[in-house]
Chain A
Amino acid sequence: MPIGNSLLAIATVTALVSTIGYGMTLFNRDSWVGLARKSYYIFATATILMSAYLLMQILNHNFALQYVYEYSSRDLGLGFLISTFWAGQVGSFTLWLLFIAVIGVFLIRKVTENHSAVMFFYMLVICFFVTLLVVRSPFLTWPAETLARLPGGMPPDGQGLNPLLQNYWMVIHPPIVFIGFSLLAVPFAYALGALAKNNYTDWVKNSFPWTALGSFFLGTGIFLGGYWAYETLGWGGYWAWDPVENTSLIPWLLNLALMHGLLIERNKGAFRRSNLLLAIFAFLLVVYGTFLTRSGVLADFSVHSFTDLGMSGYLIFFMGFFLLLGTGLLIYRARTAKTGAGIKDPYSVDFAIGVGIFFLGLLSVLTLVGTSAPLITRVFGEPANVSMDFYNATALPMAVVLALLAGISPFLVSKDKTLSTLTKRLSPSFVLAAAATVVSFFLGVTQFMYLLMIFMAVFALFGNLSVIFLQPGKVGLRVGGFVTHMGFGVMMVGIVVSSAFSQTEKVNLYSGQEPSQSFEYKIAYKGMEGDIMTKDNAVHLVVQDGHSQFRADPKMFIAKENQGMMRKPFIRKYFLYDLYLSPQNQQTIGDGDKMKLARGEEKKVGDYDIKFSNFEMGNHAEEGTMQVGAVLEVSRDGETHEIIPYLAFTPTGKQFLEAEMPDGNGRIILKDVQAESGSVMLQLSGVPGTDVLDLLVLEVSKKPLINLVWLGVLMICGGTFVSFVRRRRLQFAQVHR
Chain B
Amino acid sequence: MGETRRTVLKGIWAIGALAGGVAAGLLGPGRAFAAWNKGAFEAKSAIDAMKALGMMNAEDSKAIHIRAPEIAENGAVVPIDITSDIPGTTSISVFIEKNPFPYTGTFDVSQGAVPYVHLRVKIGESSPVRVVVAAGGKHYTSAKEVKVTIGGCGG
Does B bind A? no
Q: Which residues of B pack against A, CB within 8 Å?
A: none
